[in-house]
Amino acid sequence: MSDMFTIVWKEWKDSLFQGGWRAWIRPVLLIGILGVFEPLVGKLAWMELSPIELVVFLWFAFFVIISIVADSFAGERERHTLETLLASRMPDRSILFGKVLTVVLYGWGVMVIGLFLGALVDNLAHGQGQFVFYPVDMLLFTLLLSLLVGILGASAGILLSLRMSTVRQVQQMLTIGTLIVGFAVIGLLQLLPQSFFVSFTPDEILWMAAGLVAVLDIVLLAFTLARFQRAKLILS
């Protein structure tokens, strides 16, 4: 466990604390969009966490993940630091899960900060003397589902980053893959009979979606761990 958090600290130090002020532009910009711009546009309706707002939060969480995950191994390969990392005595699982945890915490952290900042901004701009907050059940569900989606994006990105030589290649594949999956989900929803949506409540459908994402997370993490072969990475 300590080795995994050593990897997390290394990643945070390299990406934020040693990257200068430019390293903070992206997270600050994303937090500003999610926590200031969107609440001002959506007004108090933003606080309802309707399906539209939920999709926006999930999209942001996933977007932040895929924007940085490409650097996890492909970036190390480009900077010629991958050999040093893999030559260490840290277990394979610590290296891999440390990378996953770093990316997930980054993306999820940006979303959580934006979520709570948005509540403050919305109340200051549109409140009428009474503090309005998100419905607790929807807030907890949004936090959970965004975390699961973040793990899914991080696992997929790291799996690609393990095998591709450049960050640009990984980002391009993630973008194409995201578009394909998005259109596939939309097509699947259109093919489902109307009786499906009538048979279940919106909450039940959301929880089924969360369960499906959780299963995909487990499968993808297991597959990524199986594909993580240190000897081949050192020789690549």
pLDDT digits (tens, 9 = 90+) for 2-55: 778 787 777 777 665 555 566 677 778 888 888 888 888 877 777 888 777 787
List pLDDT tens digits, range 111-140.
899 889 988 888 888 777 778 888 888 888
pLDDT over 70, % of the chain: 91
- Tens-place pLDDT, residues 137-153: 888 888 998 899 889 98
Number of domains in the chain: 1
CA–CA separation, 232 vs 141, rounded Å?
A: 40
- Residues 175, 70: Cα–Cα separation, whole Å: 11
| One-letter identity of residue 62 | F
- Domain of 140 in residue numbering reads as 2-235
* Type and span of the H or E element at 18: none
Say which residues have a Cβ less than 8 Å from residue 94's Cβ, sequence separation at least 6.
3, 4, 6, 7
- The confidence score (pLDDT) of residue 219 equals 93
Mean pLDDT of 180-187: 78
Token pair 């490409």 in the structure block, residue: 70
